[in-house]
Amino acid sequence: MVGIFCCILKDGKAAPIVHSALKKLEYRGYDSTGEATIHKNKLYIKKDSGTIDEVHARHNLDDLPGKIGIGHIRWATHGAPLRENAHPHIDCKEQIAVVHNGIIENFTELKKELEELGHTFKSKTDSEVIPHLIEENLNRGLPLIEATRETIKRLEGSYAIAIIYVKEPDKIICVQKESSLTIGIAENAAYPTSDIPTFLPLTKKAVTIENQEIAIVSDGKYEIRKITDWSLVPREPKLIKWVPKKAEKLGYPHFMLKEIHDQPSSIRNTLRLQDQYLELMTTFLDRAKEVFLVACGTSYHTCLAASYMFSKLAFLSTHPVPASEFIEQQGKSINIDSTILAISQSGETADTLAAVEHARLHAATILGLTNVIGSTLTRVSRVYICQQSGPEVGVAATKTFTAQLCVLAQLALRLAKKRGKVSHTEMERLEEKIEQIPDAVETILQTQEERIRQIAKKYRDIEFFLFSGRGISLATALEGTLKLLETNYIPSMTFPAGEREHGPISLVEQGFPVVFICPRDETHEKIVGDIREIKDRGASIIAIIEEGDEEIKALADDHIEIVKGMPEILSPIMYVIPLQLFAYYMAVERELDPDRPRHLTKAVTVK
């Protein structure tokens, strides 16, 4: 996730306006910042790694000259947070500058093609192909708008793009496909941006650029066309009446709730991972003699879920180990034949890095999955994948968990394909289902949130919770428990449902709440039996069920429904959503701050 803000004025200086607006976008990313302006037919650029304040202190963003400017704050997804990877990106002749939010899925092929045509690339980003493609089309004698049109025909993926060109300094061209973009319209100025709050101090008039549209923006004017057939789209500006107090939370009261709601789009990004990274990691996993999945906290729950995915789909047996136990438990046995897949959204968790370092010293192969390019984990991994979640501010991990699960599901599926372990039809079905996850998550959020809020109200004074599930749902139950206890300080425990008679059932008494995770998978029949037994001891059952599961509905005191027909190995991605919301609304009911749980920090960099 990144943020864009652009400015075109009749008179005045664009750079300071872009600078102060970018400050409001900082919640979208903060590892690099850049601005480009045009003055007297020359392009001026300042960009560097670091937060806006750091980059401004080093380079003084405000002294860029000119009435037209584009700006960007970055959260690295392709290429480390270095100066050369910061936006804006430019063409070979230094006449076009581009900022981009989104992912260009086919950038590797495009880059190769452009390099063969003589273009020189300065960055490792996917975005840099855009100015070079435009340059190539301008070389054919096309005006900027046509050159852009030809360019976007070649782009696969999602994008909000803003383009300026020294030979046409009276316009900013904006293109939108599945990434938000709005223009603030003032009398003699216009401000294309990722988020409305950035221009509210300057104007209250807003024009949204919808999916698959292109806008030619000049000072106070704009023209919108459909990308597909180039037809003109008449659209009047709307008056924005709200004044968000907390722009960075997009109107949500807490980051945790905002990040829970980010999930349809963050998962969509995760599903656009570059093929070659997935393929490379799959190859390493395929060759591995033994695979350890190593992480802490929520990321460890990802490891647990992943062990079911790999085993069930690809027949690969893996060992999930909490990073803090790894050296003690496995240290002596690690050798050149061992492969460690370390999972850490921050890439900086001390125990995870210590486990990796130990394994490295014993010649093991290190694979990494993280949300932070440039983190220590990316530097020590033989191959790493960036999960593309965008920055997560709330201390409790939410969107980074579901993104990790999506990456692992894709890896397991590829491995299964490579090993010939799933039929062609089953493979197609699973690929189709993975693509449906963002919409399924959206539906859960839309249809179940109010119900969950009511359930949280009902149970707000309860002092102890049990969570349970079977199979892969055990990982979901563990994550639900962690979310509740870390944001609410409620002692909670997870037990595998089949273990109930071996101890946990002794805790159950009248009204005791037990949360069951019950997808309609191979474990369903057994879980019905588990629920009956626990209910017979007087427990209150809260069940997360598949839509229309009347059998469990009849047993449960409260239920939350998940969209039908999702395969078992994908179920944690959806079944965890109500648990995240439950923890959030419990905290709100109990007047706690879910964004800042006591004693916890976002990245645990001490052991």
Can you give the binding site for ligand F6R, defined by CB under 6 A?
296-299, 344-346, 349, 352, 396-397, 482, 486, 603-604
Cβ 500 vs Cβ 534: under 8 Å: yes
Taking alpha carbons only, the member of 375, 410, 81 closest to residue 270 is 410
**Distance of closest approach, residue 398 Cβ to ligand F6R, in angstroms:** 8
Q: What is the DSSP letter of 396?
A: S
> Can you read off the two tokens belonging to residue 476?
């979901």
Output 194 or 344, the one with its CB closest to ligand F6R.
344
- Under DSSP, the state recorded for 548 is T
Residue number, 84 or 325, with CB nearest to ligand F6R: 325
Torsion over CA: 537, 541, 543, 548 (sign): positive
The residue number with the shortest CB distance to ligand F6R is 297
Q: Which of 329, 387, 379 is nearest to 353 (CA)?
A: 379
Distances (CA, A) of 13 to 37, 189, 204, 251: 9, 11, 20, 30
484/534 with CB nearer ligand F6R: 484
Name which of 271 and 603 has its Cβ closer to ligand F6R.
Answer: 603
Instruction: Give least dist CB 474 to ligand F6R, A.
Output: 17
Q: Minimum distance between the CB of residue 322 and ligand F6R, rounded to whole angstroms?
A: 10
Cα torsion 10, 16, 20, 22: sign: positive
As measured in angstroms, the least distance from the Cβ of 297 to ligand F6R is 2
Closest distance between ligand F6R and the C-beta of residue 18, in Å?
32
Helix (H, G, I), strand (E, B) or coil at 272: coil
* Residue number, 34 or 578, with CB nearest to ligand F6R: 578
Q: How far apart are CA 602 and CA 604, in angstroms?
A: 7
Q: Cα–chain-centroid distance for residue 502?
A: 39
Q: What is the DSSP string of 274-323?
A: -HHHHHHHHHHHHH-SEEEEEE-HHHHHHHHHHHHHHHHHH---EEEEEH
Q: Which is nearer to ligand F6R, 314 or 482 (CB)?
A: 482
Q: Which residue's CB is nearer to ligand F6R, number 347 or number 504?
A: 347
Output the smallest distance, CB 101 to ligand F6R, in A: 24
Q: Which long-range contacts (CB under 8 A, 24 or more apart) does 56-64 make?
A: 56/19, 61/15, 61/16, 61/18, 61/19, 61/33, 61/35, 62/13, 62/15, 62/16, 62/19, 63/15, 64/14, 64/15, 64/35, 64/36, 64/37, 64/39
Tell the smallest beta-carbon distance from residue 354 to ligand F6R (Å): 12
Nearest distance in Å: CB 81, ligand F6R:
17
